[in-house]
Amino acid sequence: MAYFDAASAAPLHPVARQALLASLDDGWADPARLYREGRKARMLLDAAREAAAEAVGCRADEMVFTPSGTRAVHTGVAGALAGRRRTGRHLIVSAVEHSSVLHSAEVFEAAGGTVDRVAVGRGGAVDAAGYSAALRADTALAVLQSANHEVGTVQPVAEVAGICRAAGVPLLVDAAQSLGWGPVEGDWSLLTASAHKWGGPSGVGLLVVRKGVRFAAQGPVDERESGRAAGFENIPAIVAAVASLRAVRAGADQEAVRLRELTARIRTRVPELVPDVEVVGDARRRLPGIVTFSCLYVDGEALLHELDRAGFSVSSGSSCTSSTLTPSHVLRAMGVLTEGNVRVSLPMGVAETDVERFLDVLPGAVASVREKLGAPAPATRVRAAELVVDSLGKRCPIPVIELAKVIGEVPVGGTVRVLSDDEAARLDIPAWCEMRGQEYLGEEPAERGTAYLVRRLG
């Protein structure tokens, strides 16, 4: 089985396994106690904190370990907002942040705060000017990921950090996807990360709060981790997390070159091998191992199952996931197709032969899914130079498939009116028009659902 979902969780690094086992004997006691076993545990914890701080580029007393990366984000956002509540109740985030950030923003809004969500371009990156324009006198905090978790696009953190610093606003950086590749540049104020993204054990997060940043931890606190992460520290897991971070960093530069070549190969060859595919995300400013593409007329979850049967573990940003049936907020913000989306995120050390085998298998897998989905004969009726396609009650990508089948039946300049009650059609029909060179005219209310209008250009 070829594991191509390292952006979700990287395989446990051998060094992490060794460090975990080695520290089980000395890291089980309470590091707050003064007896011998407690002192041994404290030495391990202090050494791990020093090493992690060196890797991040901060002071050891600015860093705490949390039970997860998500907890680090929730604690960091809530604490920074509370610490600056006298400044105001305004938060800035990007539209493509991880769900942990967006959920924190929703909680803040529900409590009476205001949130600006900075838009991104089609490549998935924010424009630093968007953060500058969003800043207000009452802005308490800004948040920006270092790199996107779904499409791999690297964000202009250093530039945004400079803008925020000049305005006296702290910037929290979610560095979960990038920290294994190197420290985050720029004059940021807070930083979060998660160990399972770089091959450490799950259940270990990092939260850095620079000296001078106003911070008020929320909820019940205790004396551990500067009062910012309550509960007994999992010292063996923390030691393993930091050991794996140092190990992956040692070979990161060399491995980045190799993974960039492999992902460039995928980005180039997938559109050559599979018809009607769009590779998404910035082509240059991106993490080494992530490549994402969208296949027209394909359900993402069905394609994932087909690839799983062929021996490949990949993930999808498909709108129709079995659990939510909601579009990926990242793909939606980018304005790209939300159906048939595949994210390939290569782990360090991946074999080149596995990548080549994936490229051999993918065309057949896509063709199989397209064939199984079928394209039901659309119900059409002619209105002069307009066709009406009734896709009510049908889930995407079926409305898009039916649109594609009939667009050639109207003359150039003619229109197709697609009736659909699937929310995903609002995203996927404009994205299809962008990919296929047709003109999206907008939407209109219909007796049932919504009518989406498309003009044929060629």
Cα 349 to its chain centre, rounded Å, is 22
The full DSSP string for 37-84 is: HHHHHHHHHHHHHHHHHHHHTS-GGGEEEES-HHHHHHHHHHHHHHHT
| Phi, psi (deg, nearest 5) at residue 20 | -60, -50
Compute the half-sphere exposure of residue 40: CA atoms within 13 Å on the CB side of its CA.
11
How far apart are alpha carbons 147 and 66 in whole angstroms?
Answer: 21
- Is 68 in contact with 38 (CB distance < 8 Å)? no
CA distances from 366 to 64, 250, 265, 373, 377 (A): 45, 38, 18, 11, 21
Active-site hit among 164, 320, 396, 433: 320
428: its two tokens: 């996927």
Q: CA 355, CA 388: separation in Å to the nearest integer?
A: 43
d(CA 207, CA 221): 15
Tokens of 167: 């305005």
Beta strands in 332-403 (DSSP E): 341-345, 380-383, 386-390
Cβ proximity of 313 and 133 under 8 Å: no
Query: Are the beta carbons of 69 and 205 closer than 8 angstroms?
Result: yes
Residue 173 forms beta bridges with which residues? 144, 191
Judged on CB neighbours under 10 Å (0-12, 13-18, 19+), 254 is: exposed
Q: Is there a catalytic annotation at residue 396? A: no
Residues with active-site annotation: 320
